[in-house]
């Protein structure tokens, strides 16, 4: 009996030591997952199909073209060989597109204010983050929706800062409590920068807002030169209104942002069956054509300027006309787009991880995981809307943002894939365990050595047995997420100095407290 108790004691002590080891932060080089891991093992299109889409996109640009470019854009694109027809549409000969592809930036870096959060976009390196323009906050505790505020945006940025697997913060909601659009843009920038040092994506509601917003950004960066050295905000720009039309004011905004040194996301966001063909291949073809036109535009203004190829076709439920971002079709759309980005060798982004469910429930879980995993396996550089987004982009949930950190962690472990080599085949372990050993691998030196570097452990996901679960007062996932949210927000501090904060608030009306 004493021997049994001793063994139990040793086993318990060993487990306690392992738990303590797991609680300690691992050096980045030893983490099982990290930003920028390489995907690309999933190919939803064959090489021949990729070429077909490319050729169809070129044909669409040459024969259909795009309407409604601002005069400044017409002048730029005509200067590099685009043809303005009598119908007012700009058409793009193949050579014009190929010239733009030859000038386009590759291997770009989206910078954070902290260089540890820089995102290196090349090949099949995968990064997950937020995005969107939700008008409601989801409140799981009361099962209700309410309008978003600037304070909510600040809290979302603070939470994102604390999450290991959410790599960037593109503004996921609209500050509905800020009526003036310029003040809303200024508040969106300041709330985001105050809340996180990760890379930030931002939109502008009017071209005239770029200059005053850049003045604020320069102040936050420590001057224009410092900003241009490390541009930590990119412009998410819906430069087209599908199908095949330029968005005039957004194009003007894009021109201002490029001249200001702000990287741009060329965002084509059609809905398959409404503003894009209903077929997956057709929707991807149109998005590709539109973004190729955007690439011509950008490189006509500033050759080699950092631009993300943002093909974002969305799924549509043809029975009702409702968006269906949680569908298998959406996962296929974004995965196919990732292959087109790789075909061109361009940094690219698309949607993944959003849910049509109204609450963080089982439906949200399967929908968010499906497209996040497929996008990652496809090697999508930037997976936007990957965390916290519900109700087909109408609702954003802070608790779901927190839960998404676990979900994305598992998705990234899938992206990492399987290493097969002499060491991982483990013949030496088999021999040690089976030939006179313990007969199991629990507690062996090799198992213990790899338990942190090879395995991803959820922060809130519950792996207890039913007995342990009962003994621990039946912890509830949503209650745990709410508690973690409250803890993060209670401990978070603004990432702006008190002196700068005081100066900013003296100049601008800010609608959130820090």
| Chain segment 464-491, per-residue pLDDT in tens | 999 999 999 999 999 999 999 999 999 9
For residue 93, the Cα-to-chain-centroid distance in whole angstroms is 33
Q: If DSSP codes are grouped into helix, strand and coil, which group holds residue 90?
A: strand
- pLDDT for residue 14: 57
Which residues lie closer than 8 Å to 225 by C-beta, 6 or more apart?
none
Distances in Å between the alpha carbon of 242 and those of 16, 313, 444? 57, 10, 58
Return averaged pLDDT per consecutive 10 residues of the chain, 514 residues in all. Answer: 38 54 66 94 98 98 98 98 98 98 97 98 98 97 98 98 98 98 98 98 97 98 98 98 98 98 98 96 98 98 98 93 93 98 98 97 97 98 98 97 98 96 94 92 88 92 96 95 98 97 98 96
Enter the DSSP assignment of 321. T
**Domains defined along the chain, listed by start:** 101-416 (3.20.20.480)
pTM of the model: 0.94
Structure tokens that stand for 213 in this block: 């917003």
pLDDT at residue 146, rounded to an integer: 98
Q: What Cα–Cα distance (Å) separates residue 241 from each residue in 244, 268, 270?
A: 7, 8, 8
Q: Do residues 257 and 210 lie in contact, with contact meaning Cβ atoms separated by under 8 Å?
A: yes
């Amino acid at each position: 009996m004493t021997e049994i108790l001793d063994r139990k004691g040793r086993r318990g002590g060993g487990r306690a030591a392992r738990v303590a080891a797991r609680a300690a932060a691992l050096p980045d080089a030893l983490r099982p997952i990290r930003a920028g891991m390489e995907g690309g093992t999933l190919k939803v299109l064959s090489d021949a199909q990729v070429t077909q889409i490319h050729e169809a996109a070129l044909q669409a640009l040459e024969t259909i073209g795009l309407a409604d470019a601002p005069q400044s854009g017409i002048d730029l694109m005509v200067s590099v060989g685009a043809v303005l027809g009598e119908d007012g549409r700009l058409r793009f000969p193949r050579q014009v597109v190929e010239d733009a592809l030859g000038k386009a930036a590759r291997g770009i870096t989206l910078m954070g204010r902290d260089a540890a959060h820089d995102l290196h976009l090349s090949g099949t390196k995968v990064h997950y983050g937020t995005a969107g323009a939700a008008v409601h906050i989801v409140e799981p505790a009361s099962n209700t929706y309410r309008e978003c505020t600037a304070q909510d945006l600040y809290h979302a940025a603070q939470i994102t800062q604390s999450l290991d697997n959410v790599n960037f913060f593109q503004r996921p909601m609209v500050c509905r409590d800020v009526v003036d659009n310029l003040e809303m843009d200024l508040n969106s920038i300041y709330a985001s920068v105050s809340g996180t040092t990760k890379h930030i994506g931002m939109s502008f509601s009017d071209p005239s807002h770029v200059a005053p917003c850049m003045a604020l950004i320069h102040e936050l960066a420590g001057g224009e030169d410092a900003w241009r050295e490390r541009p930590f905000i990119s412009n998410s720009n819906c430069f087209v209104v599908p199908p095949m039309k330029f968005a005039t004011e957004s194009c003007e905004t894009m021109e201002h942002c490029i001249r200001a040194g702000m990287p741009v996301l060329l965002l084509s966001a059609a809905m398959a069956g409404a503003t894009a063909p209903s077929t997956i291949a057709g929707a991807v073809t149109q998005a590709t054509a539109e973004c190729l036109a955007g690439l011509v535009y950008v490189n006509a203004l500033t050759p080699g300027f950092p631009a993300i190829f943002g093909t974002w076709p969305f799924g549509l439920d043809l029975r009702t006309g409702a968006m269906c971002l949680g569908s298998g079709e959406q996962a296929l759309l974004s995965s196919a787009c990732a292959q087109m980005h790789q075909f061109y060798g361009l940094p690219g982004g698309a949607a993944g991880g959003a849910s049509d469910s109204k609450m963080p429930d089982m439906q949200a879980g399967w929908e968010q995981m499906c497209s996040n995993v497929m996008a990652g396996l496809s090697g999508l550089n930037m997976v936007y809307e990957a965390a916290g987004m519900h109700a087909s982009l109408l609702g954003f949930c802070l608790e779901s943002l927190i839960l998404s950190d676990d979900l994305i962690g598992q998705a990234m472990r899938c992206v990492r894939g399987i290493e097969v080599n002499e060491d991982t085949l483990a013949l030496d372990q088999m021999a040690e365990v089976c030939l006179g050993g313990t007969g199991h691998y629990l507690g062996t030196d090799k198992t213990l050595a790899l338990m942190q570097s090879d395995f991803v452990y959820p922060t809130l996901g519950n792996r207890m047995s039913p007995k342990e679960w009962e003994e621990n007062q039946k912890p509830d996932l949503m209650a745990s997420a709410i508690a973690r949210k409250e803890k993060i927000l209670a401990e978070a501090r603004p990432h702006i100095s008190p002196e700068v904060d005081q100066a900013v608030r003296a100049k601008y009306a800010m609608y959130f407290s820090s």
